[in-house]
A = this chain, B = another copy of it.
């Protein structure tokens, strides 16, 4: 087993989730995006902002640069939906999502395979010695699953074609 192959597998999953979510967004109107995914639950726009902010925080975590839209952390990570905070317009947020994903995808594919098994910036050197499995690779896996978790919810906004 080689490192390149393992990283290729993980990035294939990441890319798969990216493409699935992109197709989902194309099928959902701005009007639908403002709706709740199920009665009383999060809105589509909140989940779009949440995924954008979470992915945007990955590059700084991996030491690959700064977040493009750090201002999204407050409304979409630290605060739950429907708390009265203002959200960007749907088209603006779709554009932010696309920019964040494009940058993350490029940087992730360019990272040397062995770097995925290095420490990330949310871990101290001391903690990393104790828990070497908490590396960039494990963050990539958990973020990919996180993206799938919310994609399953956003998919509920797609209207069935008869």
Residues of A within 8 A of B (CB): 1, 3, 5-6, 8-10, 12-13, 16-17, 37-41, 114, 117, 132-133, 135, 137-138, 141-142, 144-146, 148-153, 156, 160
- Given A6-B137, A117-B5, A132-B5: A38 in contact with B156 (beta carbons within 8 A): yes
B3–A145 CB distance below 8 A: no
A41 CB, min distance to chain B CBs, angstroms: 5
Please list the 10 inter-chain residue pairs (A to B) with the smallest Cβ-Cβ separation, ordered nearest first: A149-B152, A38-B38, A152-B152, A145-B148, A38-B156, A1-B117, A148-B149, A9-B138, A148-B148, A152-B153
A35 CB, min distance to chain B CBs, angstroms: 10
**Chain B minimum-CB-distance residue to A117:** B1
User: Which residues in B have their C-beta under 8 angstroms from that of A114?
Assistant: 1
A14 to B23, CA, bound (A): 26
A13 to B139, CA, bound (A): 10
User: Which residues in B have their C-beta under 8 angstroms from that of A9?
Assistant: 133, 135, 137-138, 141
A148 CB, min distance to chain B CBs, angstroms: 4
